[in-house]
Amino acid sequence: MSDFLVANWYLFVLAIGSGAMLLWPKISAGGGAGLGGGARVSPNDAVMLINREKAVLIDVSDPAEYAALHATGSRSVPFANLESKDVPKELPKNKALPIVVVCPTGSRASRAVAALQKLGFENAKALAGGLAAWRAANLPVEKSAA
């Protein structure tokens, strides 16, 4: 038996390596709110959260970006407002409600999820791909009246 292990050591290394690669996305994203800046949801999953669990869609874009184009029904809460100690009034009072955070590309949304979790919103998730993914999924967008 030990001759088999010694002669085929590379197969064991390959099996361990492939297992690690399968687990890496879960580890890096923390399965929810871990090292990767929080959980991400696809646009379709976001719509299901909105319809089934009454999730709130929060846009953390700058006011000018929000006015130019945003997801229909989203609330504007600029990212800078989330970094203060006070909870912005646009956020839901019920901190248990799911929150889907969106920005133009998705990078600011990931940081905003971490900020929201510090404010007590443990069920916050970033929209993977941001507004670009939302539009690619043919979901409704609108412009604000300037």
The set of catalytic residues is: 103
User: Hey, how many other C-beta atoms are within 10 angstroms of the C-beta on 48?
Assistant: 13
What is the Cα–Cα distance from 17 to 97, expressed in whole angstroms? 39
Q: Residue 20 in contact with residue 13, Cβ under 8 Å? A: no
Q: Is 33 helix (H, G, I), strand (E, B) or coil?
A: coil
- Type of residue at 117: Q
Q: Is 36 helix (H, G, I), strand (E, B) or coil?
A: coil
